[in-house]
Structures are given as C-alpha cells and as structure tokens.
Amino acid sequence: MSLRFTTAGESHGPGLTAVIEGLPAGLELTPEDIDADLARRQLGHGRGGRMKIESDRAIVTSGIRHGRTLGSPVALRIENRDYRNWEERMNPWPVETDVEEVHLPRPGHADLAGVQKYGFTDVRNVLERASARETAARVAAGALAKALLRAFGAHVLSHVVQIGSVRAPQRDRLLPEDFRSVDESPVRCLDDEAGQAMVEEINAARKANESLGGVYEVSAFGLTPGLGSHVSWDTRLDGRLAGAVMSIQAMKGVGIGDGFELAGRVGSQAHDEIFHSEERGFYRETNRAGGLEGGMTTGDPVVVRGAMKPLPTLTKPLRSVDLKTLEPAQALRERTDSCTVPAAAVVAEAMVALVLADAYRDKFGGDHLDDAQAALRAYEERIGWRR
C-alpha cells in the first residue's frame, strides 16, 4: 500500500485542496496537528503583506471521523481569504467586467515557459498555480504524514543554516531536543548570533529592493533501518527525497548528509565506519551519509539540505519583454516577500515526511495502524535494532 497526495488550487483563487490517499485507519488526529504546521509556514522575518491577510486553517471534508482516519482518502481545504480582493480576476466563471491580461513575464518564474507551453496570452493563467502559495496544501498533507511517522516513533524537524551571505556555524549530530525553540527565532535558526545577522541581511536587502535565498536542513529522527531499496532506481530513498525537495518552488539544489562537501574529501573521511556492541547493536559514530546508504535508511537521522534561490518577484523589477508588443519592458511587479527560507524549511519538512511515510507504508502495509505497528515491531525484533 502506498501513500500519495495531490494538491489543487491557485494563489488568489477561492482556496487550496489537498487529497491524501493511503493513510491507515485508526490514526488519531486533532485540528492542531494540521493547523500548527500551517501557522509555522507563515512564520519568518521577510514575509510580505499576504501573510497579514491569510490565517490558514484546514477544513477536513473526508476521510476522518471523530478524530481518527477511516482508511479512505483524506481531503483538506484551505480558504484563500485574499480571494475577496481577486474575485473578478480569479472567478472560476465568466464575469461581466473586462479583466486586464498580464503580459509581463518575470525572469526566474514559470511565466514565459508556461504561456509558451499551454498557448496562453495571459501570464496569470500560469503564475497563479506556479505560486508558492500552493505549498500551504503540501504542508497540510505533510502534517498528516508527520502524524503517521510519530505513530512509528519518527519525527521530522528543520532549521535554517544560511540566508544570503550569512551562514550559521556547523552543528553535527543534532538531537530532537535541539529544535525545541527553533520557531522562536525570527528566521528559524538554531544559532542566536547568526540568526540576528540573517535578520539584518534581510532588512538590508529589503531596503535595496532585493530578495534573498538561503539553505535549510531537514532532519528525520527515529527511522527504522531498511526503508527504501537498492534494487531499482525509483525505489532508492535518497533519489525520492531529492526529487521531493527539488519540487518545492524556488529550490535549486539539494544535498543528503554532507552532500557536495563529500566530493572534496578522501574516502576515509567520507564514509561512516560501522561498529557493534551488545548494548547498542550496530551503530556509527558519524553520519556523513545523512542516514542513507544504497538508497536505504541506516537508522541514523536522515539529513536533507535544500538550497533556495532569491524570489523572482522583485519590488524593483528585472528587465523583460511585453508578450503583446514584444517591446522591452519591466517584469510584473506584485506583492511579494523578501525572504521565505524559514517557511521553505517547513514545506521541506512536509515533503520529506510524505516520502518517508510512504516508505513505511510500502514496507509495513496494514489497513489499520495497529497492523502496521505490529509489522514494524516484528521487523525491528528480527534485525535486532535498538532505538
């Protein structure tokens, strides 16, 4: 049994929808399980005016009854409160008012390639769906996946390690308790000094009409060894995680564990030596591989880093071409954020959780959560894994 999801909705349309299929019956949930992550996605210094309008809450329309999953698809809806200001421009049905088309594609966005691909003349037909507003639906779906992972003893957490030119000090072998106050940081950074420098960098970029990207790190703790597989390219978990993270808007790089740094090391400094003791069973003293070897989990934390480019919608637009006149023009200027790396980390948590939850479902099956948990316990007993 696999776990899969899809989203629907436009940035300024009536709302967003997420449908998640493959959750076992019997998983206990509360509204806070979903809404807390939706609120975390809206955090972060550098957000724009849209976050003052939206206060995301998920409305369950199927798949959950009295706080437990039914085993059927779960459908979630998130209202776009800003739709009231866009009802004529984004109405699903024809309106009497003439709606002006957008002909100014933005460099770095889906605008130009999208209108070419689908034969549109109005860039809005592309940018509304390409917008990162869609990630609210991903976060809602990911919150359900995180709840399932918790039922298996696993937790997915994140923090920001770089914004612009500011990098936080390297921290190895993080533990779940290290993330306890990460959301209290305005940039979700674990280092207070670096976090303050990141805030100052965002402020300077905003005054200069610029945007900033950065790097975040997602860690998954408590995973059983052997999720994923080495036998086929599409079952290798590192490939699936990389694809999931790269599918997030504005991502341009991904690394597992020490990632690109491994390319510059000698072999003895690149791999994690294996040890065994009666008390701990098999273990490693380092985690350079990021908890994945041969496409499978090792039992160490899975660590995934994502690199985000600066946002392409700028308050001082870049040069572009008017699609109607083919004359030089400034790109579309629309309400935007100056930095969303902290929010992107929360979205990446959701995507990592969805991939890992699917890996658990694939390995342990179970129409009911009790069945899957029993299968997990039997497997861990067979391999002698100690949490």
Instruction: State yes or no: pLDDT of 52 exceeds 60.
Output: no
Question: Mean pLDDT, to the nearest integer, of 172-187?
Answer: 95
pLDDT at 293: 98
Instruction: State yes or no: pLDDT of 35 exceeds 60.
Output: yes
Chain Cα centroid distance, residue 22: 19
pLDDT at 163: 98
> pLDDT digit string (tens) for 229-276?
999 999 999 999 999 999 999 999 999 999 999 999 999 999 999 999
Instruction: State yes or no: pLDDT of 45 exceeds 80.
Output: yes
Give the range of the structural domain holding residue 374, as residue numbers without chain letter: 4-383
Per the structure, the count of domains in the chain is 1
Instruction: State yes or no: pLDDT of 54 exceeds 70.
Output: no
Confidence of residue 51 (pLDDT cuts 50, 70, 90): low
pLDDT at 334: 79
pLDDT at 304: 98
Question: Mean pLDDT, to the nearest integer, of 178-190?
Answer: 97
Please report, for residues 102, 116, 151, 224, the alpha-carbon distance to residue 329 in angstroms, rounded to integers and kept in the order given. 12, 18, 54, 54
pLDDT at 53: 60
What angle do helix axes 341-364 and 369-383 make, rounded to 10 degrees?
80
Residue of higher predicted confidence among 67 and 314: 67
Query: CATH number, domain at 232?
Result: 3.60.150.10
**How many CB atoms within 10 Å of residue 284?**
17
- The first and second tokens of residue 358, run together, are 């699917």
pTM value?
Answer: 0.96
Question: What whole-number percentage of the chain has pLDDT above 90?
Answer: 92
d(CA 17, CA 91): 16
**How many CB atoms within 10 Å of residue 319?**
9
